[in-house]
Amino acid sequence: MKKILFFLAAASLAASAVFGQGSPRDPYNGAIVVDASDGTVLFEDGADRPGYPASMLKLMDLFVILDRVKAGQLRLDEIVPVTREAYDMGGSQVWLDPRESFPVEELLYALMVQSANDAAMALAQHVGGSREGFVALMNAKAREIGLSPVTQFQSPHGLPPGEGQRPDMTTPRDFAKLCQALLAAHPETLKYTSVIQRPFRPDAEKPVIMGNHNALLGTFPGCDGLKTGWIRASGYCLAATVQRDGRRVISVLMGSATKQANVAKTKELINRHLPEAARAPAIPPPSAVQSAPVPAPESIVLDDPAQGEEPDDATAETEEPAEERGGWLGKVGYVLLGAFLAAVVGLAVQRRLLLR
């Protein structure tokens, strides 16, 4: 009897842990602001709480790829074939087709501006030889720049994991380190992260007009990056960088329940702590990439950055992410298990009373 009661209590605690773990809340689950020049922490609150980075992790994709470009192992004009796996990706995308191929740089814009999961997969397979090969490169880079063991990448896109897969994990502190190292090694990062709108397949009859999901671009003075992220399990995440008056900071907020709270708190923290950053040589501004091209009347517009309400990892309403399906069923399973064990205990107690 004691064993049954102990198992029931353990099951109850496990269920509570599943329901409460990493639930998005406003204004955030964890946040940090650092001086981009040297990584000095200017503000932190829950900066070591693990969470899901979602599409923010595509900055690590960019890091790995720009490293190879810098080393002469990859060219920006190198042609990348579209694989079947890339074609099958869900969420935010530019609808790549296996009959197509694109230069590395064009797919980098799709990766950073539209947060295209199909572009992430095509680049990963081309650079790493396979999805798994590229993920190994991502984790090797994480160890190289000194990120904690908590940060583990499992995908090149940040979507919810499939059955039997583990989720991507990081912390605000680790991700701020990633952003700071990326800007230090590759200032050209801002050429991609500062774009508000850009056409994809510009020569097509109906080019796709990609829209950046970072609501700070063009609206918050000095903002020129970096990346948003969203899945249901992660809440709204934003890694932002702002440069004013010779000072640059990097802000990372993870786990906001609403986009409004995420953006508002990011602005508040940057405005408060930017004056505390040291003046440093400014990163040269990207050349003419922040101006938004005017869409042709027949263009397909993927997102309106002025509204900025569509999550960058959103799936179609009829498509529930794999993580949500698995997570929901898992939670129901714990509830049913608890109910079943409670019923068993109740029957055992009732039987013993009747026998007495």
pLDDT at 290: 40
Per-residue tokens: 315: 């799936």
Q: Minimum mean pLDDT among 11-20, 98-107, 177-186, 261-270: which range? A: 11-20
Q: Phi and psi of 240, rounded to 5°?
A: -125, 150
pLDDT at 280: 85
Strand partners, 80: 102
Per-residue tokens: 116: 């295209």
Question: Coil, strand, or helix at residue 173?
Answer: helix
Instruction: Indicate if the pLDDT at residue 264 is higher than 90.
Output: yes
pLDDT at 287: 55
Q: How many domains does the chain have?
A: 1
Q: Minimum mean pLDDT among 18-22, 137-141, 228-232, 260-264: which range? A: 18-22
Mean pLDDT of the chain: 82
Cβ contact 19:190 at 8 Å: no
SS3 labels along 257-313: CCHHHHHHHHHHHHHHHHHHCCCCCCCCCCCCCCCCCCCCCCCEECCCCCCCCCCCC
Instruction: Indicate if the pLDDT at residue 237 is higher than 80.
Output: yes
Q: Which CATH number do you get for residue 251? A: 3.40.710.10
Claim: this prediction has a pTM higher than 0.85: no
Residues with Cβ within 8 Å of residue 152, at least 6 apart in sequence: 139, 142, 166, 168, 169, 170
Structural domain containing residue 72:
2-355
Instruction: Indicate if the pLDDT at residue 271 is higher than 60.
Output: yes
Please state the rounded mean pLDDT for residues 336-346.
52
pLDDT at 139: 98
Instruction: Identify the residue with better confidence: 142 or 22.
Output: 142
Instruction: Indicate if the pLDDT at residue 250 is higher than 50.
Output: yes
SS3 labels along 301-351: ECCCCCCCCCCCCCCCCCCCCHHHHHHHHHHHHHHHHHHHHHHHHHHHHHH
User: What distance lies between CA 270 and its chain's CA centroid?
Assistant: 20
Cβ contact 36:348 at 8 Å: no
- Cα separations in angstroms, 321 against 63, 162, 205: 27, 9, 32
Instruction: Indicate if the pLDDT at residue 5 is higher than 50.
Output: no
| Residue-wise pLDDT tens digits, 7-21 | 433 333 333 333 334
| Residue-wise pLDDT tens digits, 52-81 | 999 999 999 999 999 999 999 999 999 999
pLDDT at 282: 73
User: Taking the C-alpha atoms of 40, 274, 255 and 30 in order, what is their torsion angle to the nearest 10 degrees?
Assistant: 40
Q: How confident is the model at residue 6 (pLDDT cuts 50, 70, 90)?
A: very low
| Residue-wise pLDDT tens digits, 196-206 | 999 999 999 99
Strand partners, 274: none
Cβ contact 55:132 at 8 Å: no
Element (H, E) at 253: strand 247-256
Residue recorded with tokens 């908590």: 150
Residue recorded with tokens 């609206």: 219
Instruction: Indicate if the pLDDT at residue 318 is higher than 60.
Output: no
Q: How confident is the model at residue 109 (pLDDT cuts 50, 70, 90)?
A: very high
Instruction: Indicate if the pLDDT at residue 225 is higher than 90.
Output: yes
Instruction: Identify the residue with better confidence: 350 or 119.
Output: 119
Cis peptide before 27 (omega within 30 of 0): yes
